[in-house]
Chains A and B, each alone.
Chain A
Amino acid sequence: MRWLGLARRAHDLALAHVTAREAFGSRLAELGMVQQQIADNEIDIAASRALILHTAWVLDTGGDAGTASSIAKTFVSEAVGRIVDRAMQMTGAVGTSGDRLLSRYWREVRPFRIYDGPSETHRWSIAKRAVSSFKKRGRA
């Protein structure tokens, strides 16, 4: 939730850079490989929000959110890392420096994949539930 907001900020900072900076005869935002990173950030932001909203719906309607929250936590923590990392790539050397907040953000989001259950234990939980559910169903 909160880190998704920061990922949006990082993406906006990158957009501000690539729409202003000129190189190779055009704005960076007009280069295909930069566009791919812009699009991938948009996809990760949208997918993260959708998973968060689904988990919120499960919780608000009194459902068992064990699997949904593990899926959301794993995906969003990793997506936020990808988004901020791409934002840094798009912003180039200055993005790694103290002249931009991006370098601060890049450090801040990394521990998200570790605390509140690292990705590994959430994946473990998701997989065990999937196996258990399949065994109950009995067949494909």
Chain B
Amino acid sequence: MAIRFDLEPELAALVQRIREFVRDVVIPVELACKGSLHDAPDAEDIRRRLQAEARAAGLLAPHVGERWGGHGLDVRGQAAVFEEAGYSLLGPLALNISAPDEGNMHLLERVATLAQQAKYLAPLAAGDVRSCFAMTEPPPGAGSDPRALATHATRVEGGWRIDGTKWFITGARGAAFAIVMARTSGAPGDRGGATMFLVDGGNPGMQIVRDLDTLDHALFAGHSEVLLKIAWSPTTRSSARSTAASNTRRCVWPRRASPIACAGWASPAAPTTSRWPT
């Protein structure tokens, strides 16, 4: 049996439509802004206009399931579609498949509860809001070695308290919510013990300290340093469980295009917990 590299007709047609969309709609915008919306005062307007065009063309968030407005692509389908969108620096943003939102959608679609999906995934997939993923920390915290995770979450009456500093948090400025990686057990250097928390962007305990000046401009809103001094309101429903030790070195960031396994995200309400993706 021959190995097949050709795309089935529906996928080939979708890729062709994206090729034309990028050529006709996205590249003119990219040329006008020289590939960078980083310092553009109307960046948010441009993002919304591009995504409105993609929505009208049936191309917004093509990777998510049909119930969230996408095409329910498998990884091979994503590979073909993402490559074509990437032909312009602004293509992934226009199609709402840019980091970190694309990975966060993938994560929420796979492991979040229905209530969490309704609150966080639905508006994210629709392009109504943006999100961020807060894992990386300044020294001596977690970078390439996630075992160094220093941000910690402790139970307080009726909820949780999260303390830590994150940096290189892509898209943090203006994000409607953050998925925050925090330690609920163990100490920096230990394996496992990490939990993901959904934190609303309006939480007063989550403050942007500064925006880092980086080589790249393409990821919307750049990369920020974020201070976390979050106290959960006792009125916030909470349910969390301790996490089993897992091999944190194998952690894969959700912003990456390949799937993540995060089956431990089991609690029914925010804030919620998960094992490290392995």
A6 interfacial by beta-carbon distance below 8 Å = yes
- B residues near A104, Cβ cutoff 8 Å: 34-36, 89, 217
Contact partners of A105 in chain B: CB under 8 A: 35, 89
The answer to whether B85 touches A2, judged by C-beta atoms less than 8 angstroms apart, is yes
Q: Is A26 at the interface (CB under 8 A from chain B)?
A: no
- Given the known inter-chain contacts A56-B76, A108-B217, please indicate yes or no for A6 contacting B34, CB distance below 8 A: no
- With A2-B92, A104-B89, A111-B216 in contact, is A56–B83 under 8 Å at CB? no
Q: Is B34 in contact with A59, judged by CB distance below 8 angstroms?
A: no
Give chain A nearest CB distance to B122 CB in angstroms.
Answer: 24
| B interface residues, how many (CB within 8 angstroms) | 40
Q: Are A59 and B250 in contact (CB under 8 A)?
A: no
Query: Once the chains bind, are B34 and A2 in contact (CB under 8 Å)?
Result: no
Query: Contacts A1-B257, A56-B75, A69-B258: A108 and B89 contacting too (C-beta < 8 A)?
Result: yes
Q: Quick one: closest A residue to B214, CB to CB?
A: A111
* B83 nearest in chain A by CB position: A5
Q: A101-B30, A121-B249 are in contact. Are A4 and B218 (CB under 8 A)?
A: no
Main secondary structure of the interface of B (DSSP, over half): loop
Q: Mark B136-148, 1 if CB is under 8 A from A, else 0.
A: 0000000011000
Residue B226 lies at the interface, judged by CB distance under 8 Å to chain A: no
Which residues of B have CB within 8 Å of A69? 252, 258
A2 to B86, Cβ gap below 8 A? yes
Question: In whole angstroms, what is the CA distance A108 to B222 when docked?
Answer: 12
Q: Could you say which residues of chain B place their CB within 8 Å of the CB of A49?
A: 83
Contact A110 B215 (CB under 8 A): yes
- Tell whether, in the assembled complex, residue B144 and residue A6 are in contact, meaning their CB atoms are under 8 Å apart: no
Residues of A within 8 A of B85 (CB): 2, 5
Known interface pairs A65-B258, A108-B218; A5-B82 also in contact (CB < 8 Å): yes
Closest partner residue, chain B, to A7 (CB atom) = B86
A39: interface (CB < 8 Å): no
Pick from A6, A52, A66, A116: contact of B253, CB under 8 Å: A116
Q: Which residue of chain B lies nearest to A8 when distances are taken between CB atoms in the complex?
A: B87
10 residue pairs of the A-B complex, CB under 8 angstroms, read A1-B78, A1-B83, A2-B86, A4-B83, A5-B84, A6-B87, A69-B252, A101-B30, A105-B89, A118-B144
- List of 3 A-B pairs having minimum Cβ-Cβ separation, nearest first: A5-B86, A2-B86, A1-B82
- 4 more contacts with CB within 8 A, not counting A2-B86, A69-B258, are A55-B258, A101-B30, A104-B36, A104-B89
A contact set with B: CB distance below 8 Å:
1-6, 8-9, 49, 52-53, 55-57, 59-60, 65-66, 69, 73, 98, 101, 104-105, 107-108, 110-111, 115-118, 120-121, 125
